[in-house]
Amino acid sequence: MNSGMYSALAGNLAAMERMDVIASNLANVTTAGFKKDRLTFESVLAGNQNPPAVPPGQTADPVLLQAKMTTDFSPGALVQTGNPLDLALQGDGFFVVSTPNGVAYTRQGNFRLANDGTVITNDGYPVLSRDSQQPIKIDLTGQTGGGKPVVDNQGNITLNGEAVGSLAIVDFPKPYQLTKQAGALFMAAAGAVATPAAGTTTVAQGALEQSNVDAVSEMVQMVDANRYFESCQRVVRSFDAMATKAASDLGRV
């Protein structure tokens, strides 16, 4: 196949991958604590990836694109909700939660209480304590006078003046070696060591960190990706027409 055709098809595939990422970002524009993803591409020669056993011919190696997914960890805007179990981090760091696949990290702070008083995420995963690394439990049974948990700016939880737990808030060296799981959950890569978040990181009660996705910017990029796909498609059709004409003319000769 002509190397120009390979390049155009590589562009089509890159545009499709980019559209998938943009669609995911837009789908989570209202998901608290969500961090948008980006695709970056690097042009490489196919022969550099898979060197031929014999010297290549005169035809140039086709150009391919290697994609690399990155996550933008910039903070989202804070929105006041008034819900005592809505918590937002101001500064670097993550809440720690327990999942069936192990410990995970998130900035999505729309927590709630399970039937047994365990503080859980919106997906039902227990939120872990700073001291014991066990799920935090808040017993509201028998509370009178509308007792509500109070969370200070260091993540310490009290109920009617009595300490009931403290949130584990950790951070990692940058650039973050974290892999996105579902939604706003991240898993640490092998060798990434979590440490207590810096003292400048604080907890805001009754607030949520919104997604850092800019819907307008994503829509602009979607239009750009769509136009790029169409341009590559026109190139593919041009090469196909040339190949068809060449085969037809060769037959007449």
Instruction: State residue 31's pLDDT score.
Output: 94
- Mean pLDDT of all residues in 231-248: 73
Query: Would you say 33 and 105 are in contact if contact means Cβ atoms under 8 Å apart?
Result: no
Per-residue pLDDT reduced to its tens digit, 91-134 = 999 999 999 999 999 999 999 999 999 999 999 999 999 988 89
pLDDT at 41 over 80: no
pTM of the predicted protein model: 0.80
Per-residue pLDDT reduced to its tens digit, 188-198 = 998 899 999 98
How large a percentage of the chain has pLDDT more than 90? 59
- Mean pLDDT of all residues in 146-173: 91
Give the Cα separation of 42 and 40 in Å (integer): 7
pLDDT at 145 over 50: no
Give the Cα separation of 136 and 130 in Å (integer): 9
Query: Would you place residue 170 in the very low, low, confident or very high pLDDT band (cuts 50, 70, 90)?
Result: very high
Instruction: State residue 45's pLDDT score.
Output: 53
In this structure, what is the dihedral angle of CA atoms 214, 220, 221, 227, given to the nearest 10 degrees?
170
Query: Would you say 22 and 218 are in contact if contact means Cβ atoms under 8 Å apart?
Result: yes
Q: Is the dihedral of CA 37, 41, 46, 50 positive or negative?
A: negative
Give the Cα separation of 207 and 8 in Å (integer): 47
Per-residue pLDDT reduced to its tens digit, 6-39 = 677 777 888 888 899 999 999 999 999 999 999 8
Averaged confidence pLDDT in the chain: 85
Question: What tokens appear for 26 in the block?
Answer: 């837009």
Q: Which residues are CB-neighbours of 222 under 8 A, at least 6 positions away?
A: 19, 22, 23, 26
Query: Would you place residue 144 in the very low, low, confident or very high pLDDT band (cuts 50, 70, 90)?
Result: very low
The reply to whether omega before 100 is within 30° of 0 (cis) is no
- Of residues 135 and 55, more confidence is placed in 135
pLDDT at 44 over 80: no
pLDDT at 233 over 70: yes
pLDDT at 142 over 80: no
Structural domain boundaries in the chain: 3-74+225-252, 78-209
